[in-house]
Amino acid sequence: MVEFQIPVLNDVPAEFDTKFTPGAMAHLKPFLAKADHNVPLGFPGELVDDWQKKAIDRMGDLVKRYRSLAVYLDSCVKCGSCADKCHYFLGTGDPKNMPVARQDLFRSVYRRYFTPTGRVFGSLVGARDLTKEVLDEWYSYFHQCSQCRRCSVFCPYGIDTAEISMAARDVMDHIGVGMKYCNEIIAKVHKIGNNLGLPKPALADTLEGLEEDVQDGTGHPVRFPLDVKGADILLVTPSADFFAEPHVDGLIGYAKVFHQAGVSWTMSSYASEAGNFGMFIGSYEQMYKVSNRIRKAALDLGVKRIVFGECGHAWRVAYSFLNTLAGPWDFLDPAYPVPQHIIEFTYDLIKRGGIKVDAEANQGMVLTVHDSCNVARASRMGTMPGGQFILPREVIKACVPKFVDMHPDTIGDKTFCCGGGGGLLTDDLMELRIKGAMPRMEALAQVIRDEGVTHMAAMCAICKSQFTKVLPYYGMKMEMIVSVHGLVSNAIQLGTNKI
């Protein structure tokens, strides 16, 4: 890792106070995927000889296949509204991290090969040949976009930089220049069933250990069932929930909620991953393959419902694509939504008194919440508009003595990415992750200072991992990040009022 300065936090969050530093992040690139990572996904092992032709052909395929992509590439008027809305631009000052500039890396090549004016007038209309230098720029800056879609909220045309970034990564994978972190993980899911490569015996051991811990801690026989045929609910959760902190506290919370609700549930060793990195590399083929594991597990186990654990991009894929990718789900009980989020499940129980929670169990804690970008801008929870913001807050408020929100420009649909989303949660991109976390850190520091906030709840496995890593760089304690269901786990009253 090269030496770099940790950004200084401004007193007022989300204000544009960035020094332009052209080329500041040009050196940063994730590790390149090797043949071992690419080939299992059906991609070339390394940069192919005729890469330029293949890249342009793939670009043409994507533009034809996804009308939205062509519209985004054709309709930008360079109004600049998105320019200062990206956390990576705010944290790095590199103008190529302005969303419009990022889009133009791809748009300029599109213009050159797919528009009449670009073919005739070339650079006069901002068109560029796809050279090796341009490809290197793509590799660097399309891996400095977490596909969080904040910029699209401010664009008068709704241009979605995330979709352009996904398309660029897809093109690069098809010529053999994918990123190691994402491709290695996807290959593990295909082979073993989860991002960590945790095989069934190790998973079973881990869950058994959790059962013992909870029994010892509470005196209640809370189960963590695996591969139970005929269970009503299949829980699909990010594999980080099995052991990482504070993720595992969330898993314990889900188990206590299921236990107290008296429902039968199970996890699956075959579909032991909610995350779907296929989205990060822009590959619907990979997304489909990963999603289909959930379908197969649901059919094999004969469950009636599917509930997702706390994972932002998993919920985005599940909410937006699960039905079209892996449906129809007509074998599940139609009385329940497919899929359902664990926060919806718990919220419903709290509302109708199905479980009781005691905020005093989290005494001394003053909570705020980080809206995960993928939950905020790409999904919903429950049936009410804005449910993805309301339900987590209602669950948290029921479980803690005091809750305060962060600056309004940094929450809800304007929330900032944690800095590690979009397949960037890898140590080879640590500089980007630290700098990209700056806007969220500013907002958090403000409520710590003004409201006495002690903890920040997160509902995404990537956010939890990212924050625990970057908080100390900004002088804050990693322990201040908690899972939403970690709070539920502390507050839930076990053994009484069984429904």
* The one segment of 152-160, 179-187, 291-299, 345-353 that binds ligand SF4 by CB under 6 A: 152-160
Structure tokens at 371: 């809206």
Q: How far is the CB of 154 from ligand SF4 (least distance, A)?
A: 6
Of 53-61, 140-148, 352-360, 473-481, the window that binds ligand SF4 (rule: CB under 6 A) is: 140-148
Closest approach, Cβ 165 to ligand SF4, in A, equals 6
Q: Which of 6, 9, 74, 81 binds ligand SF4 (CB under 6 A)?
A: 81
Q: Is the peptide bond before 328 cis (omega within 30 degrees of 0)?
A: yes
Nearer to ligand SF4, 66 or 329 (CB): 66
Q: From CA 129, how far away is CA 151, in angstroms rounded? A: 27
- Judged by CB under 6 A, the residue of 143, 150, 316, 341 near ligand SF4 is 150
Minimal distance in Å, beta carbon 87 to ligand SF4? 6
DSSP string, 88-110: HHHHH--GGGSHHHHHHHHHHHH
Asked if 14 interacts with ligand SF4 (CB under 6 A), we say: no
Selected from 147, 194, 260, 468, the binder of ligand SF4 by CB under 6 A is 147
Single out the segment in contact with ligand SF4 by CB under 6 A; choices: 83-91, 228-236, 328-336, 357-365: 83-91
CA 172 to the chain's CA centroid: 21
CA atoms within 13 A on the CB side of 98: 21
Closest CB to ligand SF4 among 82 and 255? 82
Min CB(130)–ligand SF4 separation in Å: 21
- Does residue 76 touch ligand SF4 according to CB under 6 A? yes
Which region among 79-87, 231-239, 403-411, 441-449 touches ligand SF4 (by CB under 6 A)? Answer: 79-87
**With contact defined as beta carbons under 8 Å apart, do 222 and 452 qualify?**
no
Nearest distance from residue 34's CB to ligand SF4, in Å? 26
Between 90 and 357, CB nearer to ligand SF4:
90
Cis peptide before 246 (omega within 30 of 0): yes
Contact 165, 147 (CB under 8 A): yes
Question: What b/e sequence results for 313-325 when a residue is b if at least 16 CB atoms lie within 10 Å of its CB, and e otherwise?
Answer: bbbbbbbebbeeb
* DSSP state, residue 479: G
Site string for ligand SF4, 162-181 (x = CB under 6 A): x--x----------------
Task: List, in order, residues 6 or more apart from 317 with CB less than 8 Å away.
Answer: 276, 278, 279, 287, 291, 325
Distance, CA of 30 to chain centre: 18
Tokens of 375: 């939950």
Site for ligand SF4, residues 208 to 227, rule: CB under 6 A: none
Asked if residue 73 lies in contact with residue 106, where contact means CB atoms within 8 angstroms, the answer is yes
Q: Which of 481, 405, 480, 389 is nearest to 443 (CA)?
A: 405
Q: Toward ligand SF4, which CB reaches closer, 356 or 414?
A: 414
Regarding 186 and contact with ligand SF4 (CB under 6 A), the answer is: no
Can residue 486 be called a binding residue for ligand SF4 (CB under 6 A)? no
Q: Is 18 in the site for ligand SF4 (CB under 6 A)?
A: no
The helix (H) or strand (E) run that includes residue 133 is helix 132-141
How many residues at the interface with ligand SF4, by CB under 6 A?
27
Question: Which H helix or E strand runs over 215?
Answer: helix 200-218
Would you count residue 151 as binding ligand SF4 (CB under 6 A)? yes
Residue 93 near ligand SF4 by CB under 6 A: no
Alpha-carbon Rg for the chain, nearest whole angstrom, is: 23
Which of 88, 347, 389, 474 touches ligand SF4 by CB under 6 A? 88
- Cα–Cα distance measured from residue 351 to residue 328, given in angstroms and rounded to the nearest whole number: 30
User: For ligand SF4, which residue of 1, 79, 384, 478 counts as binding (CB under 6 A)?
Assistant: 79
Per CB under 6 A, does 68 bind ligand SF4?
A: no
Stretch that binds ligand SF4, among 143-151, 178-186, 332-340, 442-450 (CB under 6 A): 143-151
Rounded CA separation 436/93 (Å): 10
Going by C-alpha positions, the residue among 411, 463, 440 that lies closest to residue 153 is: 411
426 in contact with ligand SF4 (CB under 6 A): no
Residue 151 has a CB neighbour count (10 Å cut-off) of 25
At closest approach, how far in Å is the CB of 83 from ligand SF4?
Answer: 7
Minimum CB distance to ligand SF4, residue 198 (Å): 29
Residue 161 is a binding residue for ligand SF4 (CB under 6 A)? yes
Is residue 146 a contact residue for ligand SF4 (CB under 6 A)? Answer: yes
Secondary structure letter of residue 176 according to DSSP: T
Q: Near ligand SF4 by CB under 6 A, which window of 84-92, 275-283, 336-344, 458-466?
A: 84-92
DSSP state of 400: S
Residues lying near ligand SF4 in the complex (CB under 6 A): 76-82, 85-86, 88, 99-100, 102, 145-151, 155, 157, 159, 161-162, 165, 417
